[in-house]
Amino acid sequence: MSTGLRFAEQAVAASVADAPGSLKALRAAGAEAFKALGFPTTREEDWHYTNVSAIASAQFEAAVDRDPAGTVDVAALAPYTFGGTWPLIVFVNGRFNATLSSFGALPDGVRVMPLSQAATEEPELLARYLGTAVTPSRDGFSALNAAFAGEGMLVHIAKEMVSDTPVHILHVVDAAGANVMSHPRHLLIAERHAKASVVESYVGLADVPYFTNAVVEVFVEDGATLQLVRVQRESRVAQHVGTVEARQGRDSHFIAFTFQTGASLSRSNVYTVLAGEGCGCTINGLYMLDGQQHGDHQTRVEHVAPNCFSREQYKGLLDERSHGVFNGKVYVHPEAQKTDGKQTNNTLLLSQQAQIDTKPQLEIFADDVKCTHGATVGRIDETSLFYLKSRGVSARLARQLLMYAFAADVLETIDSPAIVQALETLTLERFTGEGLPG
């Protein structure tokens, strides 16, 4: 029996497990959808450059069937918490760990609870939102995630609540998580005129293989602002598929940032539907790959209502034999007049063998719009490198400074100085082994 069929059988078993209300229905729908869809193949346009056979053929075991115990303690988490005293929700080897989590810093009006708890305490809320942005029928990975729904968090920001304290959801895998597959599903809801930030981190603490298949459903109601920062630093022999999809109300703003350095094969999907008049989104990302890493970034911004804006900028630093993919789509409906959309992808190739497949796209069915898109691919500017070296800067530091200059502007779009500083340091350490000089 192929691993894909074995996954399907596991999904069916999960769907009939003793799960309350909305979770049970979602599991059942996911199980059936996965049996029909299976894993995507390179024959599908959106997966043309990404072959997932390494995932489909692997012998992973579901996190729900594993003992979640590991060797992770508070000290092991410290390097990944951005030095903040924020609310911290920790998952170890795919399972929620209440002992390592800290809810004490949650401000009034911000509720965070496991989905399994929310299914009992907030059944109407889950029935209204869960599984409606990322439906099980979207693709095989979304279906598989739905079939194992349960390990995830509800983050609910009450109307008119403005919070300057990010909620940090931290997923870590240690040696005990070898060959585990986890399917976290988070539900983020910002009610009318609320404002908040969520940080979602995926970290590999040991160089072991495993598979993360994450889904985040985001709802930004009228006049609300929600920022989501996703940091993917998985094991270099892990696989990661992450999907974020947002639904936006009138005059809302959704801000998403994706930072990717980990996993041997990764796929990031960020989608949003601008359904309310006057709303907007800012979707940015930075990906840094080396070795034989493969990183695929897919975005889709769907302009449904008039007078909306979208801003999108992704930057990549690719070294050695790494392969990057960017496919960004902006779709403008006929009713979405006065749309203002900008999309760019810039990639810096640091070796002769590194490669990028980039395809920014516009589909416009309205006649009163202002939309632009573009992509650039280049190498470190030799003239700039020579200039710095001629002023006494070492070749290593000159390269470091040019890389930092390339990445800095997109990092600075994050509305949190602590996160910006941490990601700037990671950017420099990625290829030089040193942080930003003081």
CA-CA distance, 136 to 37, in Å (whole number)?
A: 10
Residue-level pLDDT at 305: 98
Q: Is 396 helix (H, G, I), strand (E, B) or coil?
A: helix
Q: How far apart are CA 143 and CA 278, in angstroms?
A: 32
Computed over its alpha carbons, how large is the radius of gyration of the chain?
A: 21
- Two structure tokens written together for 372: 């632009």
Q: Say if CB 150 and CB 181 are below 8 A apart.
A: no
CA 131-299-46 angle, 5° bins: 85
Beta strand 225-233 with 195-204 is: parallel
Those residues with Cβ within 8 angstroms of residue 44's Cβ, 6 or more apart along the chain or in another chain: none
* Cβ–Cβ under 8 Å, residues 107 and 165: yes
Please tell me the pTM assigned to this model.
0.93
Q: What is the pLDDT of residue 1?
A: 37
HSE at residue 264, side-chain half, CA atoms within 13 A, is: 15
pLDDT per residue, tens digit, the chain (438 aa), is: 344 445 545 544 544 455 667 788 899 899 899 999 999 999 999 999 999 999 999 888 888 767 666 789 999 999 999 877 899 999 999 999 999 999 887 888 999 999 989 998 999 999 999 999 999 999 999 999 999 988 899 999 999 999 989 999 999 999 999 999 999 999 999 999 999 999 999 999 999 999 999 999 999 999 999 999 999 999 999 999 999 999 999 999 999 999 999 999 999 999 999 999 999 999 999 999 999 999 999 999 999 999 999 999 999 999 999 999 999 999 999 999 999 999 999 999 988 999 999 999 999 999 999 999 999 998 887 887 777 788 888 887 887 778 878 888 899 888 888 888 888 888 877 766 655 444
Helix (H, G, I), strand (E, B) or coil at 342: strand
Instruction: Determine the Cα–Cα distance for residues 371 and 375; give it in Å rounded to an integer.
Output: 14
Q: Give burial (CB, 10 Å; 0-12/13-18/19+) of 390.
A: exposed
